[in-house]
Amino acid sequence: MAAAKAWPILSLLLFITVAESFVATVAKDRPNMAVMVLLGLVFNFVSFVWYCRDSDAAGYRRSLGLNIAVILLGPFAVAYYLLRSRPKGFRVRAIFGLLGFIVLVALASALGTIAGAAVA
């Protein structure tokens, strides 16, 4: 999937991460579990939507096992998918892109925690 088409979905994932960290921090590490479960489910759903759109754009045939793995194992399954779906010469770049996104998720989590601490 072209980066321009992927960023809205990836930005939504970052926003959800900020929200999870914010809610957990404001609640002094005792957040409403229903809210946290809902945010986690939304994060997994949006991640799966990205995977489906990206695999369609790449012409990669999804398997049931990989579909389940993307939801349950997250970054590990996405790394496997990227290695399998990208042509030679683009695989390392795709993995570095994934690692960069993981760093962005960590920074988004820190941002949500800082914002939550400022409010609490």
Q: Do residues 54 and 6 touch, judged by C-beta distance below 8 A?
A: yes
* Count of domains for the chain: 1
Each residue's pLDDT tens digit, 70-82: 999 999 999 999 9
Range of the domain at 69: 3-119
Confidence bin at 32 (pLDDT 50/70/90): confident
Distances (CA, A) of 35 to 21, 76, 86, 102: 12, 25, 36, 23
- Per-residue pLDDT of 49-99, as tens digits, reads 999 999 999 999 999 999 999 999 999 999 999 999 999 999 999 999 999
